Amino acid sequence: MKLMYFKITFLLFAFSFFILPFVSFAEVSGMQDLSMIYYHVEGNTNNSFYPRNDVDYLYEGNINFTDLIQDNELFGTILYRATNDRLVDNQDLSLEQAFVGLRGESFEFLTGDFYSNFSEYSLANALKGLKVYLGADDGLHLSCVGGVDSSKWEEFWEERQEDSALRRYVWGLEAGSNLFDKKLALNFNYGGAVDDKAYLVAGTPKTFVNVVSIDGSYLINDNLNFSFEIAQSFTDPDDDLDSVEVKTENAYKTVLNYNMKDYSFTTQYSRIGQHFSATSGFTASDLETIMIDALWFLPKSVQFTHYFHYDRDNLSDHKSATTKQLNPGAGFSFTLPSEINCELGFDMRKRYSSDKFTNDKTYTYSVNFGKGLELFFVNLGYIKTIVVDEANSSQERDIDTVSLGLDGNFNVKDVLLSWDVSEGLHHEHYNEVNEADLILTHSVGLHLDFPSTLSIDARVMLSDNDYFLNPTDNNISNIVVSISRNLKDDLTFSANYEHRGYNYSDSDNNYSETIITGRLSYQF
């Protein structure tokens, strides 16, 4: 019955698009892009995944349509692609996205591609299938979905390939309403999912998941809001074997939001059981999390952010060790005399485990200054990072990162010229060997806008990377030039040239990549 349901859904979708050419729509829009791409690699071509010397094409298009049917809106979208560029798509011709829907004041029907998010712990999937929504967001409502969690339409009519992702059948129901003068929003959620055995690696069992949850929010007063979710999952690790027991597990979270004129904070507590599963393939398990995030607006336009995050796993003692992580931090944002913007920050992250194999702390201090001058804006930043590792002394290091940026714009007659320059230094000193990595980065960018709609972009980026492991030392250069112009109101031409060069201390590994793209875009 389940497979028959999904086949019927797919036939309904196909039938919808079969009748579309015979319907006259009030509004049709879209974009058609045709690109020619040239790849060229010199030097050690084994280091690059681009073709050695090749010219490929890429055609992408989308069509959007809407119409009114007795005060109801009929709508839809089709996205498609044709290419011989295997870096973009393994298919010569592919359907990327397609859906048709009908919506009214208190309903919506949709078949094709859609994303449905009932709640964090129940159902949150991008599906190809059928969606039915009845009711209103601020009142009683019902949502039913069913479909296939698959990224490619061609997997419906083609055999499974080596690059095919895991495919799942997913279905669900959400019912909710607002109560007590809309202060309480309450939802009941159900989701189900089962693996498509044809898309599993040989020997991998087929998992069958059912999950139910209740989530909601309550407006305590104008400043305080409380939200929550309680979920229970029932997971059959091998749906083909009756001897395998169904694993039952729960998950829950509570969130409290407090908002005042000058102060606001959000605090959250969550607990996810060892064997908890959701239709979305939720992977975090046996995890407890506490989070507090706050923002305080002080006098003199000073902003103070502060947070505290804590999590630990293995609460059920099913692993050999329990790992905990502690992360407090704070930051100030204010204005100094002479209109200098300043930001100060501190962050500490501590990780430690009961087996003593993990025990490290990372301290991060940051300061940033910004100043707008008459001709340009200048930004100067410094970050100091200290890593202390009691379990592995070879990982102890001090990191200094400095960044300087200048940017501005001005007019030369009718031409708008924008520019930016940036410099970066990253010095990472490993204490045990008394050696350091040094990375220097330089970037210059220029943008020109002409009255004729001609636009030109140019950027040069250089980096000099010196590591204490000398064979990996390298210099990287990247040059990008782009030109675009509107040939007509609905027709645009653009061209892009990019050259990347990689020079290593071991010159046998040197290589360079050149990519030239020409694109014609038509919008209607």
Q: Which tens digits make up the pLDDT trace of 326-369?
A: 999 999 999 999 999 999 999 999 999 999 999 999 999 999 99
Q: What is the pLDDT, as a whole number, of residue 6?
A: 45
Q: What is the pLDDT, as a whole number, of residue 396?
A: 96
Average pLDDT over residues 8-28: 54
pLDDT at 97 over 50: yes
Tokens found for residue 101: 């829907």
DSSP conformation letters of 300-317: TTEEEEEEEEEEEE-TT-
- Under the banding of pLDDT at 50, 70 and 90, the label for residue 163 is low
What secondary structure letter does DSSP report for 19? H
Using CA atoms, how far residue 237 sits from 244, 246, 370, 386, in Å, is 7, 7, 55, 44
pTM: 0.85
Contact 227, 258 (CB under 8 A): no
Cβ neighbours for 301, distance < 8 A, ≥ 6 positions apart:
334, 335
pLDDT at 7 over 80: no
Nearest to 140 by CA among 191, 179, 181: 179
The partner residues of 194 in beta bridges, in order of sequence, read 169, 208
Using CA atoms, how far residue 189 sits from 126, 128, 186, in Å, is 17, 20, 10
Q: What is the pLDDT, as a whole number, of residue 13?
A: 47
Burial (0-12, 13-18, 19+ Cβ within 10 Å), 26? exposed
Q: What is the pLDDT, as a whole number, of residue 255?
A: 98
Using CA atoms, how far apart are residues 306 and 330, in angstroms rounded to an integer?
A: 4
Nearest 5°: CA angle at 174, between 168 and 177?
A: 165
Q: What is the pLDDT, as a whole number, of residue 257?
A: 97
Q: What is the pLDDT, as a whole number, of residue 332?
A: 97
- Under the banding of pLDDT at 50, 70 and 90, the label for residue 283 is low
pLDDT at 159 over 90: no
Nearest to 38 by CA among 57, 54, 49: 54
Whether 105-285 shares its CATH topology with 396-524 is answered yes
Homologous superfamily (CATH) of 396-524 is Porin (2.40.160.10)
When mean pLDDT is compared across 41-50, 120-129, 279-288, 310-319, the lowest value belongs to: 279-288
DSSP conformation letters of 210-261: EEEEEEEEEE-SSSEEEEEEEEEEEEES-TT-TTSPPEEEEEEEEEEEEE-S
Using CA atoms, how far apart are residues 409 and 432, in angstroms rounded to an integer?
A: 47
Amino acid letter at 152?
K
- Under the banding of pLDDT at 50, 70 and 90, the label for residue 16 is very low
Nearest 5°: CA angle at 84, between 78 and 86?
A: 95
Secondary structure tally for the chain: helices H, strands E: 1, 26
CA 409 remoteness from chain centre: 32
Q: Please check whether the domain covering 105-285 is classified as CATH 2.40.160.
A: yes
Contact 518, 35 (CB under 8 A): yes
Q: For the chain, give every domain's residue range.
A: 105-285, 297-358+366-383, 396-524
Q: Is the dihedral of CA 154, 156, 157, 158 positive or negative?
A: positive
Tokens found for residue 36: 């020619």
The partner residues of 505 in beta bridges, in order of sequence, read none
